[in-house]
Amino acid sequence: MTSAQQLIYDTVGCPPIEGSKGKLLKPEPGICSITGEPQEITADTRRALGENFTDHSLWRAHTGRVGPAALWCCSGKGALSPRMWSWVCAPGVDLPDSVEKAPWHVPGLCQTNRSNTRPIIDLLLHPPAGEWVMCIATSGQKHVLPYATTNHGGGTSTIRMEDTNITIKHTQFKMVFEATLALRRMGVTAENIKNGAPGNAIKTHDQLKHWRNTSLLRTQEVMDPKTGTISKVPFLSAASVRHGIREALAWHLIEHAGIEDGSLTKQAVDLLFSGGAVTSTGAKTNLDMARRVEQYLPMLSLLGYAAQSDIVSGTLRASDLMLVCAENNWRCPIQDQHRAAKYRSEEFGTRKDTGTTPAQRMIQMTKGDLGTAQMIFDQQILIPGARLWGVVGVSQAATKAQIQVMHAGLALWAPGGEARLGAKTAQGFGVALIEGIDQVEAQRSLDEWTKNVVENAGEIRQLITDLAS
C-alpha cells in the first residue's frame, strides 16, 4: 500500500520543494525515515527537518534520510504549508474541488478547512473502494500529513485529526453522525451532545422519538464484480413503477367509465388500485371471467390481479430503477463517474402546530395546556439532476390489447414525459423527466383506450362488480 505522504504528493503532481530544504535533496538512494519507502532522491533527515523535529513516533525507518514526498509534507509557508489544511485524497474518485484559497485544485484531491467539512463527512459516510487518505487540521499549528495513514476501502479506517489518530468503523460513524445531525437540528448544543445530555432542547417523549425518525432512502447492496466491494446504493423498486402505472389507469377508468363516488366496494377498489385479493376457494379457473377481463379490462391482465379464487399473473415486465452512478457502471448501459454519495442529500423542515397559526381561533378552549403537534421532520433525498435507469415492457404472452393499455398507462403515468416518483410527491418531491417513451404511440394508445372505456362503460362496471363479489 502506498504511503499517505507519497499518495498525496503524487496526486498534486510532485511539486518542487522550494527554499533551503529543497536544496538538500541529492541523488542519493535510501529509505525514507517517514514513509519507509525506497527513494532515489533523499536528504539528510536532521538537516532537512531541523533539530527540533524530535517526535520519533513518526519514524517508520531509522535511516537518517528523508524522501521528497515526506519533506514536502513538512515544508511550505503560509497557505502553501500543508499543516494549514485538512486533506481528503482519493485518486480516481470524483471529489469536490478544494476551497477557493487552497493552493491545490487537482482531481482526486480536496483541500478544505472548518468552513466546509462536507467533503470529509461524505467520504467517511461512503468510503471509496481504493486507496484514500484523510487528515484533519483544526489549529493550523501542527503537522498532520506526516502522521497520516493510507486506508483502503471501508470497514475500519484511520483518520489523523490534529495530533491524534482516530480509528473508526464507518457503519458506526454513520449512525453517530445521523443522530448528532438530528439533535443539532432540534437545537441541542454541541457541548451537550459531547456530554451526552440533550439539555432543554428535548422536553417531551415525542420530541425524543421524532428526532430519531428520519425518512431514509431505500437502498440495495451492490457488489462490484471486479473488486468485490459492496456498496449500498439508492434505487426505486419495480413495484413502485408498476403501482404508478396501475394507479394512473385506475383513476382514468373511474373517470371515463362513469363510476360514481361511493359506488364501489372495498374489494373493487382493491382490485383496481392494488390488484385485489382471493375471496373464495376453488380448483378451476373461471375462463369466461378471464375472457371478459381481456375484452373489457385488459389493464388487469396486463398488471396482474386476484379475484374470487383466481390469481392471474400480469404480462407487464418492469425492472428496478437503478441510480446511474459509478457503483452501477458494471450493470447499467448509462455510465457515470460520480459515486452514489454525490447524489444523496437531506431535506428537513417543521410541521406547524395549528395552535400557532391563524387557525387557532377555531380551536375550542379547554382547561390545561394543549399539547403541541409541531415537530421537525427529516428525510433523505436524491438531488435534482440524479438519473435512474430501468426497463418497462411486456412478456411474449402479452396480447395486442395489453400492449395498447401499457402504452396508455405510460401516457397517464408520465404525461408529456413527466412523472412523480417515490414518496412525498404531495410536498413537491419526486418530479422526474422520463426518457424513452414514444409519446406519439402513447397518446394514440391512450385515445383508443379511452374510447374503449367510454363505449363499454356498462360492461366494465358490471365486470368489476362480478370480480369483486
Q: What is the pLDDT of residues 400-433, one digit of tens each?
A: 999 999 999 999 999 999 998 887 787 778 899 9
Q: In this predicted structure, what is the pLDDT of residue 77?
A: 83
Q: In this predicted structure, what is the pLDDT of residue 178?
A: 81
3-state secondary structure string across 367-403: CCCCCCCCEEEEEEEECCCCCEECCEEECCCCCHHHH
Q: In this predicted structure, what is the pLDDT of residue 176?
A: 81
CA pair distance 382, 367, nearest whole angstrom:
46
Give, in order, the Cα–Cα distances in Å from 459 to each of 16, 185, 302, 400, 404: 84, 57, 19, 20, 19
Q: What is the pLDDT of residues 28-76, one digit of tens each?
A: 999 999 999 999 999 998 888 876 566 667 788 888 899 999 999 888 8
**Range name among 227-241, 316-330, 370-384, 448-462 with the lowest pLDDT average:** 370-384
CB-based burial of residue 335 (10 Å sphere; 0-12 exposed, 13-18 middle, 19+ buried)? Answer: exposed
**Range name among 30-34, 92-96, 150-154, 343-347 with the lowest pLDDT average:** 343-347
Q: What is the pLDDT of residues 129-141, one digit of tens each?
A: 999 999 999 888 8
The better pLDDT of the pair 450, 176 is held by: 450
The better pLDDT of the pair 187, 153 is held by: 153
Q: In this predicted structure, what is the pLDDT of residue 172?
A: 80
Please say if the pLDDT value at position 227 is more than 90: no
Strand 305-307 and strand 230-236: pairing? unpaired
Q: In this predicted structure, what is the pLDDT of residue 352?
A: 54
**Letter for the amino acid at 234?**
P
Please say if the pLDDT value at position 203 is more than 60: yes
| Number of CB atoms found within 10 A of residue 104's CB | 17
- The answer to whether the pTM exceeds 0.75 is no
CA pair distance 214, 207, nearest whole angstrom:
13
Average per-residue pLDDT for the chain = 85
Q: In this predicted structure, what is the pLDDT of residue 375?
A: 47
Count Cβ neighbours within 10 Å for each residue of 424-458 and write b for 16 or more, e otherwise.
Answer: eeeeeebebebeebeeeebbebbeebbebbeebbe
The better pLDDT of the pair 183, 445 is held by: 445
Q: In this predicted structure, what is the pLDDT of residue 378?
A: 61
**What is the pLDDT confidence band of residue 338, given thresholds at 50, 70 and 90?**
very high
Q: What is the pLDDT of residues 344-394, one digit of tens each?
A: 887 765 555 545 555 555 445 544 444 444 444 567 889 899 999 999 999
Give 25-39 as a DSSP string: -BS--EE-TTT--EE
Radius of gyration of the chain (CA): 31
